[in-house]
């Protein structure tokens, strides 16, 4: 499969990014400097409230930083109108948020429709994406979201996020609400999609195993700061501090062994 004409992923860079909500005592994100290389799969990992979702949402301006700058391929995101920017960035969330009164096909076609693609191109793209997400187009195209299982809905959510060939895909705990078996297969799918498309993926999770399984780089966050930014193996072998050590936990050695086995073909 694969789309040879697909635009490669973009580079995402945070420079001194801080986010403070209203008059909260502590900032949600505090001075994050981070570079995400084009085409990589980066996972923002940390406990709830560590600022990982806020940081993710500064990329498509759902959250505006109170300090610092976010750049995509060197261009400040504030140079783009927020809706224009968002149409060029994929967005998939835990609750999926499929529009309940739209069919699967219409849900996937939302962004291409906003971008003014013609009917034939949209239809072809919808079928291509359903195929990519292992959902038989003839069976799923006309279904309403309520007729989908949790895992199927999430696949459609990912297809919708990928519809307009974004160069960056943001995923906020996308698989947290499905059971372990479905989650594992969704993780396999997104890893495969990443290998095929080379879209830059920024993925938020609190699940250490998920992070280690999917990431090229794991960005561990705590209390609004990045505490370590490293490939999975390095994170396990050389945790930066006690927080990271306790996060990867006593199972670190087992996890390391798992990583060394060719379980994940990357």
Partner 1 sequence: MSYLLAHGDRVAGLFGQHVALVAASLAIALAIALPLGIAASRRPRAGAVILGIAGALYTIPSLALLALLVTLLGLGPVTAVVALVVYAQMVLIRGVVAGLRGVDPALVDAARGLGLTAPQALLRVELPAALPVVLGGVRVATVTLVALATVAAWINAGGLGVLLFEGILTQNDDKIVAGSLAAAALAIVADLALRAGERAVRR
Radius of gyration of the chain, Cα coordinates, nearest whole angstrom: 18
Phi and psi at 171, nearest 5°, equal -130, 120
User: What gap in Å lies between CA 44 and CA 202, rounded to an integer?
Assistant: 7
Report the distance separating Cα 213 and Cα 211, nearest Å.
Answer: 5
Q: How far apart are the first and last CA of the chain?
A: 17
Q: Using CA atoms, how far apart are residues 41 and 200, in angstroms rounded to an integer?
A: 6
Task: Please identify, among the stretches 95-103, 120-128, 215-223, 232-240, the one whose residues bind partner 1 according to the rule CB under 8 A.
Answer: 95-103
**Site residues for partner 1, window 157-186 (CB under 8 A)?**
157, 160-161, 170
Q: Which of 93, 130, 148, 191 contacts partner 1 by CB under 8 A?
A: 93
Decide if residue 84 touches partner 1 (CB under 8 A): yes
Nearest of 190, 237, 230 to residue 210 by alpha carbon: 190
Does position 38 bind partner 1 by CB under 8 A?
A: no
Name which position in 40, 54, 60, 187 contacts partner 1 (CB under 8 A): 60
| Residue 228, both tokens | 């370590």
Residue 97 as a binder of partner 1 (CB under 8 A): the answer is yes
Token readout for 54 is: 């806020």
Closest distance of CB 48 from partner 1, Å: 16
- Residue 4 touching partner 1 (CB under 8 A): no
Which of 52, 87, 155, 198 is in the footprint of partner 1 by CB under 8 A?
87
Exactly one of 144, 176, 182, 233 binds partner 1 (CB under 8 A); that residue is 144
CA 211, CA 96: separation in Å to the nearest integer?
A: 20
Stretch in the footprint of partner 1 (CB under 8 A) among 80-88, 125-133, 217-225, 235-243: 80-88
Q: Which residues bind partner 1 (CB under 8 A)?
A: 60, 62, 83-88, 91, 93-101, 110-111, 114, 144, 146, 157, 160-161, 170
């Amino acid at each position: 499969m694969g789309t040879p004409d697909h635009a490669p992923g973009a580079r995402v860079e945070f420079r001194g990014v801080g986010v403070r909500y209203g008059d909260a005592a502590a900032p949600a994100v505090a001075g994050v400097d981070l570079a995400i290389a084009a085409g990589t799969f980066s996972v923002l990992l940390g406990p709830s409230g560590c600022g990982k979702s806020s940081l993710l949402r500064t990329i498509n301006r759902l959250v505006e930083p109170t300090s610092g700058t976010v750049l995509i391929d060197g261009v400040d995101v504030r140079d783009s109108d927020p809706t224009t920017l968002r149409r060029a960035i994929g967005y998939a969330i835990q609750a999926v948020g499929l529009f309940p009164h739209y069919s699967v096909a219409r849900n996937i076609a939302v962004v291409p429709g906003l971008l003014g693609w013609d009917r034939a191109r949209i239809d072809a793209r919808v079928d291509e994406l359903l195929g990519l997400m292992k959902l038989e187009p003839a069976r799923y195209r006309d279904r309403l979201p309520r007729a989908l299982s949790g895992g199927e809905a999430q696949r459609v959510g990912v297809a919708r996020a990928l519809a307009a060939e974004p160069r960056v895909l943001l995923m906020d705990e996308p698989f947290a609400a499905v059971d372990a078996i479905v989650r594992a297969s969704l993780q396999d799918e997104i890893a495969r999609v990443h290998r095929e498309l080379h879209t830059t993926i920024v993925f938020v999770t609190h699940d250490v195993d998920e992070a280690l399984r999917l990431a090229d780089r794991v960005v561990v966050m705590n209390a609004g700061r990045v505490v370590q930014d490293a490939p999975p193996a390095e994170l396990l072998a050389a945790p930066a501090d006690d927080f990271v050590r306790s996060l990867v936990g006593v199972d670190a050695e087992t996890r390391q062994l798992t990583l060394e086995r060719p379980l994940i073909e990357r």
